[in-house]
Amino acid sequence: MKKTMILSFIAAMLAAGCVVVPGGPGPHAGAVVVPFLPPVVVLGDEPYYHHEGFYYHYRDNRWYYSRSRKGPWSDLPRNHYPKEVRHGRRGQRKGMGRDRY
């Protein structure tokens, strides 16, 4: 009995690491497992991020995801949002643009 409860708890914790959402009509019909974004996401010149086979789009403080950069886009569950979003520039090197005294 105790072993079953421990295994159930472990399975629940593993399942909490991702969310299953409806895939909708089309070639990806059925359930889709969407991974969490890392705690810190650094965006380049465009508000897109690629992670574990999904494309993520950041717009108006909201995140959307898709298997293709062309869409169709779906709302990302809020519990999958990163803790911090940084905006960097691809052409900018470390230390450039900082005031030095």
Does the residue 42 lie in any domain?
Answer: yes
Query: Is the model more confident about 49 or about 12?
Result: 49
User: For residue 46, is pLDDT > 60?
Assistant: yes
Does the residue 94 lie in any domain?
Answer: no
Predicted local confidence at residue 88, as pLDDT: 79
Tell me the percentage of the chain whose pLDDT exceeds 70: 56
Does the residue 55 lie in any domain?
Answer: yes
User: Domain range for residue 22?
Assistant: 2-87
Does the residue 96 lie in any domain?
Answer: no
Q: What is the mean pLDDT of the chain?
A: 75
Does the residue 20 lie in any domain?
Answer: yes
Does the residue 44 lie in any domain?
Answer: yes
DSSP-assigned letters across all residues of 49-81: EEETTEEEEEETTEEEEESSTT---EEPPGGGS
Predicted local confidence at residue 12, as pLDDT: 57
Does the residue 41 lie in any domain?
Answer: yes
User: For residue 7, is pLDDT > 80?
Assistant: no
Q: How many domains does the chain have?
A: 1
- CA 40 to chain centroid, in Å, comes to 10
Tell me the percentage of the chain whose pLDDT exceeds 90: 48
